[in-house]
Amino acid sequence: MADKPSYDELVKQVAALNASQASAAILSEKLDAARREIKVLTDQKKAIEALRRSENRFQHVIGDTPPGFSVQKLFSLITGHTNVLVSILDGNGAYLWASPSHKRLGYPASRLIGQPGSTLMAEQDLNALIKGFQKASRGNVSKTHLNYRVRDRWGNIHFYRGTFDAVTDDDGSLSQVICVSEDITELTRAQAEKGEALALAAETKKMALVGRVAGKMAHDFNNILSIIMGNAEMSMMDCDDEDTTKALELIFNQTVRGRNLTKNLVVFARDQEPKQEYFSIDRKIELVLNLLKKDLEGIRLVRDYAADCPELLADPGMIENALVNIFQNSIHATGLSPQPEIQIRTYHGGGKIGMEIQDNGCGIPEKYLGSIFEPSFTLKGSRDHLKAYKPEIKGSGYGMANVKKYIDQHRGEISIRSKVGEGTCICILLPEIKKALEAGEVIQIRAETFHREKDILLVEDEPAIAEIQSKILGSAPCHHRVDIAVNGKAAMEMAGRKRYDVISLDYMLPGDINGMDVYRHIRKTDPQTPVIFISGNAEFLASIKALRQKDPFIDQLSKPCTNLDYVRGINRLLDKVAAGEES
């Protein structure tokens, strides 16, 4: 029988066992730490490998790098200082890496790490991204091309065209997605403006023909009407027969209607560019109501004007004419209402100034709502099949067509809601052009590559616009030096005395010299100074496409344009000159 261990030996065995267990625990912790470190290194290796593949693709696109530049350096410079967004997403669609260029959208790259890849994408395009990611997860697609919209930190929408490449592990599972996207906002807007310009040019050509015919006819026709009107009025003065007098009154009233019809036709067909100035929309409405005071007798007016509504930059005459037509329609529509009422509301927000004019009159049948703005369309007089208007109410059919034309010329929106027996509401939205850059717009410009302290010639005859544009260009962050010319002759003389970095040129100018004359005069001796045309003139918009093909140093913005678009338009032209000097 073996000897039992002594007490001291038992203590030593227990101590050895405890030491062994402690070592095992330490070893286990070290193993866990090693596993975590291996996982981190593996993830980093995957990210580096994905970035290396992206750099390889980049090198495949550009070929040989310039002297003194590595692929990594050139890749970093480009992704940080252009409109290109580069990002790497993990298998779950979260950001692993984002290029510095994301800062242009108000999002530093460090803030995006770990966020969903859909963080910046506009809601309307999320489904397309989700479907593409699901296909990549199932291994059904390795590359996806997608046009999508991005919303920046300030709420502005940008258009992007991107390529999404799936990176898979050895087992075929999705590891990362590499996204390379190009900002096509300016291209998208240019294409939209081109479509609008072509449509406007076609409409202008048609209206110009109508205008020429109407102009030739109006003079002779009005002469005929004047003879009939004069003789009818004289005959009424000498007539004692009641029936004959009624007949003469009918002739006289119809000649007045015919004169108004030719007047509205000529106004509709005439191409006239808005003359813009700042004014209060509330005061303009009150002015129109005062002009129509007699016609508004017996009608209850309910006003709801927005507090602190900014002034509207627009043609006061055109807006006044539009309001007169809308109010007259409401007056006519409420003619048979037992308690006629017109509600007027103004408001602002989202870069728009809005107004609504709502009546409780006869309303418009739904089947005719799409025809309200068509020339010569009317539901009054002989076309009043529902007997909704007083018998003496007649319509030319050009009132609302002119309203639509004026709102379109101001790049605004007009819509109509109506229901038979309940009334009609006309809603108008016009762009809010501020008198200075907002803080958010200044931040956006500073996040982009912009030019400072340049000499700019501003050719603009409307004082309100000239004051705003010179203030925007001369203040932070641009600090340009601005000279103002109020007509074409002054612009030519100033351009001859001084070399300017950019010329901002209105097409419609007072006198015999327009913006195109100034441009041609400058180009005789100066083929490169950038010129940006600011115009909504339909004739000019139709010709600008051919002009751009011949001259790369011109651009165009339609009136009214936002302050941010104006600064960016000038920056784009300065970029072209800088690129030419560097090459």
For residue range 170-186, what is the model confidence (pLDDT) as tens digits? 777 788 888 888 888 87
Contact partners, residue 404, CB within 8 Å, separation at least 6: 373, 414
Spatial separation of the C-alpha atoms in residues 491 and 463, rounded to whole Å: 15
Q: Report the greatest alpha carbon distance in the chain.
A: 159
Q: In this predicted model, which residue has the larger pLDDT, 10 or 280?
A: 280
Predicted local distance difference test score (pLDDT) of residue 196: 66
Predicted local distance difference test score (pLDDT) of residue 266: 59
Predicted local distance difference test score (pLDDT) of residue 253: 77
- Residues 461-473, mean pLDDT to the nearest whole number: 88
For residue range 376-414, what is the model confidence (pLDDT) as tens digits? 788 888 788 888 888 888 776 778 888 998 898 888 999
Spatial separation of the C-alpha atoms in residues 112 and 105, rounded to whole Å: 12
Q: In this predicted model, which residue has the larger pLDDT, 476 or 219?
A: 476
Residue 60 pLDDT grade (very low, low, confident, very high; cuts 50, 70, 90): very low
Q: In this predicted model, which residue has the larger pLDDT, 455 or 106?
A: 455
For residue range 123-139, what is the model confidence (pLDDT) as tens digits? 888 887 777 777 777 76
Residue 257 pLDDT grade (very low, low, confident, very high; cuts 50, 70, 90): low
Closest by alpha carbon to 418, among 374, 364, 378, 372? Answer: 364
| DSSP track, 526-547 | -S-S-EEEE---HHHHHHHHHH
Predicted local distance difference test score (pLDDT) of residue 240: 83
Predicted local distance difference test score (pLDDT) of residue 428: 96
- Residues 430-457, mean pLDDT to the nearest whole number: 82
Spatial separation of the C-alpha atoms in residues 266 and 264, rounded to whole Å: 6
Domain ranges of the chain: 188-271, 276-432, 439-582
Tell the residue number behind the tokens 């005959």, with chain if given: 235
Matching CATH number, 276-432, of 3.40.718.10, 3.30.565.10, 2.30.31.20, 3.20.20.10: 3.30.565.10
Q: Is the pLDDT of residue 59 over 60?
A: no
Residue 463 pLDDT grade (very low, low, confident, very high; cuts 50, 70, 90): confident
Spatial separation of the C-alpha atoms in residues 256 and 264, rounded to whole Å: 12
Q: In this predicted model, which residue has the larger pLDDT, 255 or 40?
A: 255
Residue-averaged pLDDT of the chain: 80
Q: In this predicted model, which residue has the larger pLDDT, 117 or 329?
A: 329
Residues 76, 80, 85, 86, Cα dihedral to 10°: 20
Q: Is the pLDDT of residue 289 over 50?
A: yes
User: What value, to the nearest 5°, has the Cα angle with vertex 514 and ends 510 and 518?
Assistant: 125
Spatial separation of the C-alpha atoms in residues 97 and 87, rounded to whole Å: 6
Phi, psi of 99 (to 5 degrees): -70, 155
For residue range 532-563, what is the model confidence (pLDDT) as tens digits? 998 766 566 667 777 877 888 998 887 777 88
Closest by alpha carbon to 476, among 382, 349, 563, 359? Answer: 563
Contact partners, residue 423, CB within 8 Å, separation at least 6: 333, 358, 359, 360, 361, 362, 363
Cβ atoms of residues 454 and 498 within 8 Å: no
Cβ atoms of residues 333 and 361 within 8 Å: yes
Spatial separation of the C-alpha atoms in residues 556 and 504, rounded to whole Å: 10
User: pTM (2 decimals)?
Assistant: 0.57
User: What value, to the nearest 5°, has the Cα angle with vertex 483 and ends 478 and 489?
Assistant: 145
Q: Does domain 439-582 have CATH number 3.40.630.40?
A: no
Predicted local distance difference test score (pLDDT) of residue 233: 77
Q: In this predicted model, which residue has the larger pLDDT, 166 or 283?
A: 283
Return the percent helix, strand and coil in the chain, to nearest 5: 50, 20, 30
Residue 62 pLDDT grade (very low, low, confident, very high; cuts 50, 70, 90): very low
Predicted local distance difference test score (pLDDT) of residue 285: 95
Predicted local distance difference test score (pLDDT) of residue 61: 42
Measured CA distances, 536 to 196, 273, 377, 509 (Å):
11, 7, 27, 13
